Structure 1
Amino acid sequence: MRPRSLLLAAVLVLAAGCSSTAPTTPEPEVVPQAAFPVSVEHEFGTTTVPAAPQRVVSAGYTEHDTLLALGVTPVAVTDWYGDHPYATWPWAKEKLGSATPTVLTASDGPDYEKIAAQRPDLILATNAGLDRAQYDRLSAIAPTVAQPKGSIAWFGPWDAQARLIGAAVGKADEANALVDGLKKRFADTAAAHPAFAGTPAIFLQAPFYDGHAIAYQAGLSTAFLTDLGFTVPADIDRFGRTGDVSQAHIPLENLGVLNAGKVLVWGTEDAAARAELEAQPVYRTLTPVQNGNLVFTDATLAGAIYFSSPLSLPYVLDHLVPQLDAALAGNPETKPAA
């Protein structure tokens, strides 16, 4: 999945819930110095972390979720989109507690000066889209861990990133347990919902863009569906673009190809997006639309799907699975008004 900021110019607004209790910062886990030094292999070689890091910078879009899940609070995080305080989405707020990390931006690559100002002893950039030159420049500041070896630069496999991050902060066992536990939860959920197995489903951005529907092809971007047992129909692959193996750009006149999906999951972020979909007559003719085999996310659920992190994926399971059940049964609330 390519960075969301390169796909849409959307700004999401989330109304934060109120709490009667003040947030607390969990006690950080102390990693014995005897566990160090550790060496981790990534796309640009091997990085050695000489001692338990105390000032960790999360230089990519989603690494801070994994750090927080492991009990490590970064001194700086990188904002992707959503305009959330400290670039931390609702599923991670409790883990952040009352910490106030510096917020970095990466729209034009790493903010080297601001990163250096944090005096980091470890820079995690597993989801920062680094090239060799950027990696070398960050490594001159502090030990830096880039994307997993052989991975795509942006949004490589979440599990490989989590294991790499865990190893770098001396918590390999905890990271492995975190990954294995989440994979088991997906498997258990799939087993508890046998109707998902083999059912074709298509995940799309919403609304339409430049006269096209944008659907995600089978791969990392749709693993949240296939790990639940769904399949992604290959019918949409013919609309993939050269150099973009994850997205199919389907012209509105060819929208009938979406009938290959029993369920359509639309990554909607506000009511206006759904209204724009329903304003297209060709959309209303689709079989899944007429039968109510639809899921419309809200902004937070869409963000959780796009993040695909050890903290966001449990949120996806909690909030998406009931909607998938309803969509398979035919949810009249998702049908366009007559």
Structure 2
Amino acid sequence: MSINLRTLLLGALFLVLPAFGASQTWTHEGGTLSLDAPPKRIVALNWAATETLLLLGTTPVGVADKSGYNAWVNKPKLPDDVANVGTRVAPSLEAIAELKPDLIVTSTEMAPAHELLEQIAPTYVISVYKPDSHPFDRAKEMLRVLSDMLDREAQADAVLTDIEQTLKQQRDRLERAKLTDTAIALISFQDNRHVRIYTKDSLYQAALDSLGLTNAWPSRGNYWGFASIGLESVAQIPNSRLVVIEPLVPGLADSLEESPFWTYLPPVRNQQIYQIPNAWSFGGVHQVKILAKTLTEALLKGGSNNVL
């Protein structure tokens, strides 16, 4: 074989080799992380990470608070055979080690110090929710970095393109119906007197911005993106549509019928109450798509003065 032909064949072979030809390194909140090959056995210690892996077509071998994910997030669907490794705030190091992971994904506020986890496997630390952050941007960053680690960049591109197209479609529907002129207050009930109201710091804000809607609540919240307020405080935003996010407190409808705090709120009297299914407000990019679709459907359907 001539030298030129051998060179051509070696060059062609190099072109078809996987992208992971050598060790790659990423910087994260806990330091640096190096991998020699795309990880196959991944443990996710928060639900935003679990959601992101599933969006990329990768099923983690273990997750924290599995039953909670199924109850509160549930989209994307988590397969039944995924192991539970304890709670998000106190995962079991023993349970994680037994799964023999080659990557652990965690965040600073939900898990032990990453040094303990790094004794088990390479650990990637990213906090979508932290002071002065923009959750949607951080969630997209997590999607991009994990897709790079997993050699699934095309899947990440497809996910983000789908979300972008969905947001545009929903905005077009609202603009055609002339429903982008009145501000939106997004709340979830804690009891019949107190609510969480979602602020401009929240993941939900990305959906409002993309739909051309204004957040009616003017104040900042905590770094999770909400403020806990008394129901009477909603009266501070009279010219708004009030969107109630499920699940509802048991017996809430009966309590509100007898509540002067509720019955005299301007959105109630103006029949501008909307009820929508839950989108996990502390999740990843997919939750923005879910909220945009359900919110658009509710606004197009029209408001009432009742919470069902």
Q: Report the TM-score when normalising by structure 2.
A: 0.78
Deviation, structure 1 residue 279 = 3.3
Q: Does structure 2 retain, via aligned residues, the 8 Å contact 1:130–1:153?
A: no
Q: Is 1:135–2:114 an aligned residue pair?
A: yes
Larger radius of gyration: 2
Which blocks of at least 5 consecutive residues in structure 2 are unaligned? Answer: 1-16
Aligned to 1:220: 202
Match of 2:300 among 325, 333, 336: 325
Task: Render the CA deviation track for 1:136-180: whole Å, top value 9, x for unaligned.
Answer: 111121111111599559994322221222122222342133224
Match of 2:271 among 289, 292, 302: 292
Q: Is 1:335–2:306 an aligned residue pair?
A: yes
Which blocks of at least 5 consecutive residues in structure 1 are unaligned? Answer: 1-30
Match of 1:265 among 243, 255, 264: 243
Deviation, structure 1 residue 57 = 0.8
C-alpha distance in 2 between matches for 1:196 and 1:282? 27
Q: Does structure 2 retain, via aligned residues, the 8 Å contact 1:162–1:175?
A: yes
Task: Render the CA deviation track for 1:83-139: whole Å, top value 9, x for unaligned.
Answer: 73xx7954323xx55x5110123253332221111100011115x6257x6111111
C-alpha distance in 1 between matches for 2:41 and 2:307? 51
Q: Does structure 1 retain, via aligned residues, the 8 Å contact 2:39–2:103?
A: yes
Report % sequence identity: 22
1:86-165 alignment to 2 at 5 Å?
A: 89-93=73-77, 96=78, 100-126=81-107, 129=109, 134-147=113-126, 152=131, 156-157=135-136, 158-165=139-146
Aligned to 1:193: 174
Give the direction of change, closer, same or farther, for the CA distance of 1:163–1:83 in structure 2 (3 Å limit): closer
Task: Render the CA deviation track for 1:233-291: whole Å, top value 9, x for unaligned.
Answer: 344x2xx67x6683333334434113142x11112314633443443212111121122
Q: Tell me, what secondary structure is at the counterpart of 2:268?
A: helix
Q: Tell me, what secondary structure is at the counterpart of 1:214?
A: strand
C-alpha distance in 2 between matches for 1:233 and 1:106? 35
Look up the equivalent residue of 2:195 and give its one-letter code. A
Aligned to 1:7: none
Look up the equivalent residue of 1:319 and give its one-letter code. T
Deviation, structure 1 residue 207 = 4.4
Aligned to 2:7: none
Aligned to 2:214: 231
Aligned to 1:56: 42
Q: Report the TM-score when normalising by structure 1.
A: 0.72
Runs of 4 or more above 6 Å deviation:
none
Deviation, structure 1 residue 61 = 1.9
Task: Render the CA deviation track for 1:50-88: whole Å, top value 9, x for unaligned.
Answer: 21212111111232222122111110122266473xx79
Give the direction of change, closer, same or farther, for the CA distance of 1:265–1:234 in structure 2 (3 Å limit): closer
C-alpha distance in 1 between matches for 2:132 and 2:83? 24
Give the direction of change, closer, same or farther, for the CA distance of 1:276–1:179 in structure 2 (3 Å limit): farther
Give the direction of change, closer, same or farther, for the CA distance of 1:284–1:247 in structure 2 (3 Å limit): same
Q: Is 1:74–2:60 an aligned residue pair?
A: yes
C-alpha distance in 1 between matches for 2:281 and 2:224? 16
Look up the equivalent residue of 2:97 and give its one-letter code. A
Aligned to 1:183: 164
Q: Does structure 1 retain, via aligned residues, the 8 Å contact 2:183–2:215?
A: yes
C-alpha distance in 1 between matches for 2:259 and 2:22? 59
Bigger shift: residues 152-161 or 61-70: 152-161
Look up the equivalent residue of 1:335 and give its one-letter code. N
